[in-house]
Amino acid sequence: MRKIFLGFVVYALAELALLIVVGQNIGVFSTLLLIIATSSIGVYVMKNKGMNSIQNVKQTMASGEAPGAALVNTLLTFSGGLLLALPGFLTDLIGLLLLMPFSRKMFQPLVYYWMRKQMKKGPFIIVQR
């Protein structure tokens, strides 16, 4: 529990320090506009790209195939959009990395590892509605 709390404190301080540095270099108004712009892009990505990815998962499942790759891409796309929607430059950087196809390949093995770990713990159920 202490490690999680410490992680949040370190993250918040790093994000705040980065906001101050960027604000001093490009100005407060420009920094706020940049944060609003990236948040708007994140909401757009979650809404449009995320829904397209969910449709791909449904089509894959409807054709009788395992939705593994489509599910991982959906998870990464939605997570990238969510991180972009959150205010801050560190979350924006990670969100952009999750959205770019060439860097998304870096994160796919981590998601597969996490999914396998969850499946070993017990039932891993994907509900189709």
pLDDT tops 90 at residue 37:
yes
- The identity of residue 90, as a single letter, is L
Q: Are 76 and 111 in contact (CB under 8 A)?
A: yes
Contacts of 49 (CB under 8 A, 6+ apart): 77, 81, 99
Distance CA 106, CA 96 (A): 13
What is the residue whose two structure tokens read 């829904």?
51
pLDDT of residue 68: 76
pTM of the model: 0.78
pLDDT tens, 44-65?
988 888 778 778 878 887 887 7
pLDDT tens, 14-24?
999 999 999 99
Q: Is the dihedral of CA 34, 54, 105, 7 positive or negative?
A: positive
